[in-house]
A and B are shown apart, each in its own frame.
Chain A
């Protein structure tokens, strides 16, 4: 059984650019949540996808968007990048239950 994987590991972008981060769920999991973790802070909930539909959203602007595919993998897209978007982006998968399994994250740096 493979765990949650994320790509890329690190990414450097400049202000105003767009970025796509990818997440492969743990085998059999149908729910993916995305979190933003700023340096020295706890993760903040961005949104969740359940069976390809957005199923809840945190306090993030519309330039943060996502997709979930039929194989339950997921993408996080961020448009018009701002300096404050620099953070570790985590995805977590679950099978509709409480226990979320987190991936190692993608470290995004916006210059």
Chain B
């Protein structure tokens, strides 16, 4: 059973635009929802994470919106830049154990 579904598979955004990536999960026991950024040839790097006690978390240009009742969360990248071009993964899991289920990834291409 797929624990988390991520969409879209790929995304093209103009420089300065807003990039939005969505994830939906199944298991309501999960209470930690990180987003990772991965550049070619590199391992994933933690971008931002949220717990279900808040509906939104913002760090710089990156915002997570969380809808507990719908079991969905999304990543918004404001003022997208060409340097943001990478593959983004959402993940879900228990807060007290680093066993994460990753989404299938979204390849973001920000056009200059």
Judged by a CB distance under 8 angstroms, whether B22 is at the interface is no
CB of A98 within 8 A of CB of B89, answer: no
Give chain B's interface residues, CB within 8 Å of chain A: 6, 32, 34, 36, 41-46, 49, 89, 91, 95, 97-105
CB of A104 within 8 A of CB of B99, answer: no
> Contacts A40-B105, A98-B49 hold; do A45 and B43 have CB atoms under 8 A apart?
no
Question: Cα distance A58–B97 when bound, in Å?
Answer: 13
Give chain A's interface residues, CB within 8 Å of chain B: 4, 31, 33, 35, 40-45, 48, 55-56, 58, 90, 92, 94, 98-105
Smallest CB separation, A25 vs chain B (Å): 13
Smallest CB separation, B54 vs chain A (Å): 15
Smallest CB separation, B103 vs chain A (Å): 5
Question: Cα distance A33–B101 when bound, in Å?
Answer: 13
CB of B102 within 8 A of CB of A43, answer: yes
CB of A42 within 8 A of CB of B89, answer: yes
Smallest CB separation, A18 vs chain B (Å): 24
CB of A92 within 8 A of CB of B43, answer: yes
Residue of A nearest to B49 (CB): A98
| Partner of B97 from A41, A42, A56, A101 at Cβ < 8 Å | A56
Smallest CB separation, B35 vs chain A (Å): 12
Contacts of A55 in B (CB 8 A): 97
| Partner of B103 from A42, A48, A101, A102 at Cβ < 8 Å | A42
